[in-house]
Structure 1
Amino acid sequence: MNYQLCKDVMRNDARRKAFNELADKTFQLSFENWYQDGYWEETNMPYTLFDGKKAVANVSANRMELIWQGKKCNYIQLGTVMTDVSYRNQGLSRLLMDEIMKDWETQCDAIFLFANKRVLDFYPKFGFKREKQYRYSTRVDKAPGLRRKMDMSCLQDREMLKKYYLKSNPFSNLQVVNNYSVLMFYCSSFMKDSVYYIPQCDAVVIGEQEGSVFHCFEIFCDGGKNLNDMIRLAAPEGINEVILGFTPKDGLSYKIKPVDDSDNALFVLKSKENIFEGQELIFPEIFHT
């Protein structure tokens, strides 16, 4: 078949509609509201194959600026890898991967992705190496204090979230910066009910409660504060354990264990920088694409 490759699908209404139809069929997911609300940025670059007007395969390259131990890094995260069922086993994902590597392998410090269990044998063929991640957790006694659930349908609260995101997470050893776009992909949809303002410490916290466990994905605030004090204030009532969705700068008081990645494995391109090798890191979970 004669396929057409589009690298600018988001700007074209008809092609974006076809892209969203493929995403809905594959992941029960649409990017349309995120786009219409103005959160899509050029750092998100779908590479989409079309058969006529139908989107049949995609791999997205996402430019990401990371801060690792005070050093700025320019990474590419691959995501939204999908092929229409009727077009599988034709090498379409390989074609898209080859195109992305041609465009970006020499233009960034590293390329990485997260893969589900069905494709763990696929990415090593492109020179990717599987790496372990490590999760940090601690027991916690809830401290008295207020927390306000922020309304992500309210412009004022969205602007407040952006203001605090720009302060960054001062407790994280590996941060994704200047990427409000991906943050709002989560906070305007899946995690719109998980954003809180903590007035006692002037911080915005993104987290979810599951039973007696609080999964704290991010904390955005000014520096000079204590992480454990912040967690005790941010945790909801009834919590006795906190799991971090980021790598703390000081993890000495935390329990560290490998992440169960059987269905969300991290792969890093071997020919590029690999900060995960030999380190007990977790990539910030709210910035997976």
Structure 2
Amino acid sequence: MQELSFVKNYKENFSLRTSFNRLAASTFGIQFETWYQHGFWTEKYQPYSYVDNGQVIANVSVNLLTLVINNEEKQAVQIGTVMTHPDYRNQGLARKLMDKVLADFSQVDFIYLFANQTVLDFYPKFGFAPVEEVQFSMDYCHIPAEQLGVRKLDGSKPDDLTFVHTLAAERISGSKHFGTKGSEELLMFYCLMVFNQDLYYLEEEKCLVICQRENTVLHLYDVISEEKVVLKDILRKIADNSITKIILHYHPDDNEVKLDKQPYQSKLFVKNMTGVKLPKEFKHPFTSQA
């Protein structure tokens, strides 16, 4: 085996991008080409990779975004797409790539990631500590409301994607307590690849709602708007009388509804670079998770 080459931020290199996508597909069952072709792979997403004979064989990706914590903005890096081809494992490649990322982004407030079950002992070696989140939910009793002004969008249609991206780029953080800003590219990945048939625009509230139904449970993944909206009003329009429970996959700000909280083991690992105090209880928004 010849000496490996280190490359980063190579999205415009067709050959390397194709190899990267191939490794991501074989490792996670996902691919990034559609995201790239729609223009949502920007400089905020930077792969750090080792290449052997023109093929990407190990990677650690950087996602640049802003965390909103108690109404203050903090600069953060979220690590994602950590993968190594099976033929190159147990050679310390992921460790070397992590070292490069940590060296390049030593000035941010937070570096964090969501680990998978098989590598929970890997990230503490770099100073990451596990952090427990909370899951918000509520019992729901439907109050009838007119369903007028609810428009279903299609994440496979360019016009609808452009509409969503424009709204997302100007959105306020979903929560002043704990939320994200500047993460619209991550959101668009979900709109393209995960929730493309779960997008609803509420004309009166001027907000986009991402939600899925599971029997009598409604999973609310995000509410995207340029101004504050009232959760109670949204639920009256998107939840019918068969829904008995709402699960929120982000940290809500709305105090007009009673919410239950339960510990949520998301395998979140955080490296606090500047000593910023995290809230005692919070939920990272699902649609900003790399």
Q: TM-score, normalised by structure 1?
A: 0.92
- Give the fraction of aligned pairs with identical amino acids, expressed as a percent: 33
Check the 8 A contact 1:48/1:55 in 2, yes or no: yes
Counterpart of 1:117 in structure 2 is 117
- After superposition, residues 90-239 of structure 1 pair within 5 angstroms as 90-106=91-107, 108-142=108-142, 143-146=144-147, 147-165=150-168, 166-169=170-173, 173-236=177-240, 238-239=242-243
Structure 1 residues 220 and 140 mapped into 2: Cα distance closer, same or farther (>3 Å)?
A: same
1:42 matched to 2:60: no
Give the distance between the partners of 2:159 and 2:64, measured in 1 at CA: 28
SS where residue 79 of structure 2 aligns? Answer: strand
CA 1:170–1:100 in structure 2 vs 1: closer, same or farther (change >3 Å)?
closer
Moved more, 170-179 or 87-96: 170-179
Please give the alpha-carbon distance, in whole angstroms, between the structure 1 residues aligned to 2:229 and 2:35. Answer: 33
After superposition, the CA RMSD in angstroms is 1.9
What is the TM-score with the length of structure 2 in the denominator? 0.91
Residue correspondence of structure 1 range 35-74 to structure 2 within 5 A:
35-74=36-75
Deviation at 1:279, TM superposition (A): 1.4
Deviates more, 1:218-227 or 1:130-139: 218-227
CA deviation digits over 1:51-98, x for unaligned, max 9?
A: 111211000011112222221111000000000111111100000000
Unaligned runs of at least 5 residues, structure 2? none
Change in 2 beyond 3 A, CA 1:236/1:99: farther
Asked if structure 2 preserves the Cα contact closer than 8 Å seen for 1:66 and 1:176, the reply is yes
- Aligned residue type for 1:220: I
User: Given residue 124 of structure 2, which amino acid in structure 1 is its aligned partner?
Assistant: P
**Counterparts of 1:133 and 1:31, CA distance in 2:** 28
CA distance in 1, matches of 2:141, 2:67: 32
The residue identity in structure 2 corresponding to 1:55 is V
SS at match of 1:62: strand
Deviations 1:203-235 (A, max 9, x none): 210111111111111112343542222223222
What residue number does 1:266 align with? Answer: 268
State the 1:274 CA deviation: 5.0
CA 1:139 to 1:172, structure 2 compared with 1: closer, same or farther past 3 Å? farther
* Aligned counterparts of 2:119 and 2:152: Cα–Cα separation in 1: 38
Unmatched tracts of structure 1, length 5 or more: none
Judge conservation of contact 1:169–1:219 (CA < 8 Å) in 2: no
Q: Residue 9 of structure 1: CA displacement? A: 2.4
Preserved contact between residue 112 and residue 267 of structure 1 (Cα < 8 Å): yes
